[in-house]
Copies of this chain bind each other. A is one copy, B any other.
Amino acid sequence: MRQRLLEATVECLVDAGFTGTSTTLVSKVAGVSRGAQLHHFPTKNDLVVAAVRHLAEQRREEFARVTHQLPTGKGRTRAVLGEMADYVTSPFFTAALELWVAARSDEQLLAAVGPLEIEVGRELHRIAVELLGVDETQPGVRELIQATLDLLRGLGLANTLGDDSRRRSRILDQWANTLDRELKELS
């Protein structure tokens, strides 16, 4: 039931935005009684933060599964960027974006969303370092990985108002080449 509530919450955040999401709507979409919903998640903020955390956990498991299927050698960087781009164009990003933006002008939400954003950011950074197999003790490498993650965040944002996949694909092709050359340069 908890899982059903969390999935319904993501659906509501994606379809109706943070403002249009209410605990009543989520109960209805999940087909769960208001009482049961309130038992699991007393407030809307509890619900939305738990939903985004739940998605982040799911994604972590997906990355763990995919790691062994990615090509090694030439083509690996582009494949890793593709996986990460899938992440920032998934409902996870949209739901998270709704929370980040709502939290800007909602102090209570910010108190829960701030730490979650840091946690998700660190996790994504760790995944990028691991999948790309880079050595962050080399000067500049850490910043290059951070730039890659900010680029992906920007691509995620650009995709929210419409399908941006063709443009994104060309940018990632170029970015993979740049990243390979730069990582060699810095090593």
Q: Which residues of A contact B (CB under 8 A)?
A: 15-17, 19-20, 94, 97-98, 100-106, 110, 113-114, 117, 121, 140, 143-144, 146-147, 149-158, 160-162, 167, 170-171, 173-175, 177-178, 181-182, 185
A162 to B107, CA, bound (A): 12
Q: A94: which B residues are within 8 A, CB to CB? A: 104
Q: A170: which B residues are within 8 A, CB to CB? A: 143, 146
Copies in the complex: 2
Residue in B closest to A174 when the chains form the complex, CB atoms? B143
Residue in B closest to A162 when the chains form the complex, CB atoms? B114
Q: What distance in Å separates the Cβ of A13 from its nearest Cβ neighbour in chain B?
A: 9
From B102, B146, B155, B185, give the contact of A150 (CB < 8 A). B155
